[in-house]
Structure formats: C-alpha cells, structure tokens
Chains A and B, each alone.
Chain A
Amino acid sequence: MFNKENEQINIKEAETIIGPSIKVKGNFHGQGNIIIEGFVEGSIKTDKFLLIGDKSKITANIEAKDAKIGGEVNGNVNVSGYLEINASAKIKGDIKASQISVMRGAQLNGQIIMGKNEEKK
C-alpha cells in the first residue's frame, strides 16, 4: 500500500482526479499532480506527480516527474525522478527512471533503464 500520509497530501494537491468510473481516451497532458483511479487509453504526461491507483487500468505511454503505480499499465513508463511501484502493480512495457523502488509482488514485463533520464529532443 502507498503511504497513507503521502497519499493524502498528494490528493490535496492534485489538479486532476480521474475517478474509478471514468474512462479517458486520448492524449491527457497536465501540468499539475494527477491521480488516476479509473481507466486511461492514449498517453499521459505531467510535469509533476502521477499516482495510479491499485484498481486503475492504463493503456498508455506515461511521462511524469515522479510517479507511484499501483494498477495495471500497458505502455512505456518514463519518469524523470522517482518511481515507486506498488505490490499490486502490473506493468507491461519499458520503464525509465532516475530512482526506482519495487514492492514484492509487483509484476514487471519489459526493460528497466535506470540512472539520469535524458529527455528526447
């Protein structure tokens, strides 16, 4: 489980919240913190923090500064800062991150590239 205290702080600061009954299709790009508890198909990009809840299903490439992933992700994950992967996470795709932590039980299928994450120009 995510640290409850941290999660609460993030919810308070979230610019966008995608609830569990919501499906977003398309290129979802934000500048603030994003919390996803629902479904997304397309691409997700934010300059800040991204939280993908345990029951969410994402079919998208993801870019974020920092992220916590607890749900199902089909797509590449590109995090310039710290990526935390929860025990319930299922990720099919390549992962790039500067720092990473993976909890026991998480399912990862893809390459993991660590270190300084250079943005493509």
Chain B
Amino acid sequence: MHIYIYDTFVSQKKNNSTIIKIETRITDLGLNGKIVRLSMLSSLGEVIQNEIKKGAKTITVVGNNNIFHNAINVLAYLKSLKQIKADIPLGFIPFGKENNSLALGLGLNMEEAACDTISARRIKTFDLAQANDHYFLAEALISSKGTSVNIDKNYSIEIMGQGEIGIVNLPILSKLPKEIGSNGEDGVLELFIKTKEGNKFLSFPNKNIKQSIFSFKDLTINNKTKKVLLDQTIEIAPPLKINISTEKINLIISKGLIF
C-alpha cells in the first residue's frame, strides 16, 4: 500500500486547493493509498513504524526539508534496529515555497507535478552519512571559526582563514567540482573547506575563495560555540563523529537527476 504522510503545515486551510490537485493527480495515476495528516501531537516516527508494520510498500512524505530529512532519519533508524526491510522506498512531494532546497537539489518537481515522479518510480539507493545519532543525506555545514577537525584518526586540520566547512555525502546543496566525483554512492565523504582570503591592500574583502578538499570515511569535528547544520534542516552541537552509515536509503527520484 502507498502511504502519504502530510506535514503539519500542509493541512492548513490555505493549502486546500493545492492538496486537492495533488490528490486528484495521485488518483489519476492509480497511486491511491492511505493519507496520514501529522498534527502537533503525532510523531512521524510512530506513524512510519506503524504503517510499515501494517504492510506499507512505499512511504511518501508531503512537505519540505523538515519532513523529508526526518523521514530519512526514521527509516534509517528503523533499519538499524532491523525493524524494516531495506527496500522500502521513500517518495517526496515537495510542498510550499520555502525550505525546499533538498527537493530542488534532487531535481524534484513541486506539489502536483511531483506525483509524476512518484509514478515513474525511479528508485535509487544512496549512502547516508551519520553525525552521532543523526543521519543526513546531503551535507553538514559549520563555520570554520573555532572548528577543529580530525580525519580517520590519522591527521588533524587547522583552518587559519575564516570560512565554511562542509562535509558532503551527496552534492545537491553545495556543488563540488565535478572532478572530485562525489555522488552519494561511493562509500566515502568529502570534506570541503572554503576560506575567503583577506587582502589588507583593498578596502573591501578579496572575493577570491580558496578551497580545500579531502576524502574520508571517519571524522570528528569540534567547536565550543558553533553548531553543525545538517541538510539545511537541523542544527546539532559538536563534538560530532561523522562517518558513512551502514544504512542506506532508497529514494524515488526524478529521471533527470544527474550528478
């Protein structure tokens, strides 16, 4: 059975007409299933767990980055507990104009148009990265200020300029040089450091951005004041151990997605 889980904000009255269009399109495509509307009191984790126990074949979430990121976390967590089969795919119908960068990066269409992607059912398996107990699909970001990084317990990295540190699994938010070959399927993560070099001879900051790239499997990151932003969705405080998770995720993606 197809399960559609609507995020809390999706069920607001102002969204009724869009929801009707999505549901009509789903019916037209023969993808009818059960609709679960999340409320302030309901838990996405419990909903997904219950529906899988009842025999869900596909979980599709309707909302923005938040519900998509959370659904990935729930599915990965349940897989780690051996509570579900590894092959249940996750669909995503992006909804609303804000906070949908993951959908944009994955090349998904919005709202009603996304139903055709679900119908085409192109399923791809991606690695997941893990930061302590949190899973993420795309990237983790933190300011370089005050951040220390240790890679594979072999060496540490000190960043002398101000900038940003990205740990990239799937390069759909931060674009890495193509030559690096990061694709979310290779079992390694990329550490990407962007620093802006100051220039004392100019009255404005030098816009020349210097980049550093390292591939790794295991990294620890620490910062006493700054937090790490996962998938542009949730902030968590270091220290963090970041590595490729043993769990993977099956996503229903657009045909046009090319890395």
Contacts and interface: CB of A to CB of B under 8 A. Distances in A.
A28 B195 CA distance: 21
User: Secondary structure at chain A's binding surface: helix, strand, loop or mixed?
Assistant: strand
Given A24-B156, A25-B155, A16 B195 contact: no
Interface string A74-116: 0000000000000000000000000000000000000000000
Interface string A28-47: 11101000011000100000
A23 B154 contact: no
B154 A19 contact: no
A20 B197 contact: yes
A22 B212 contact: yes
Chain B interface residue number, banded: 20 to 34
B155 A26 contact: yes
B156 A21 contact: no
Interface stretch (B54-62, B68-76, B158-166): B158-166
B179 A38 contact: no
Interface residues of A, number: 24
Given A12-B179, A14-B179, A23 B157 contact: yes
B213 interface: yes
Interface string A53-92: 0000000000000000000000000000000000000000
A17 interface: yes
A1 to B, nearest CB: 19
Contact of B211 (A17, A26, A28): A17
B249 interface: no
Given A19-B211, A21-B195, 16 more contacts: A14-B179, A15-B213, A16-B214, A16-B215, A19-B212, A21-B160, A21-B161, A21-B197, A21-B212, A22-B193, A24-B155, A28-B155, A29-B154, A30-B215, A37-B210, A38-B212
Interface of B: 154-161, 163, 179-180, 193, 195, 197, 210-215
8 closest Cβ contacts across the A-B interface?
A26-B155, A21-B161, A19-B212, A23-B158, A19-B210, A21-B195, A12-B179, A21-B160
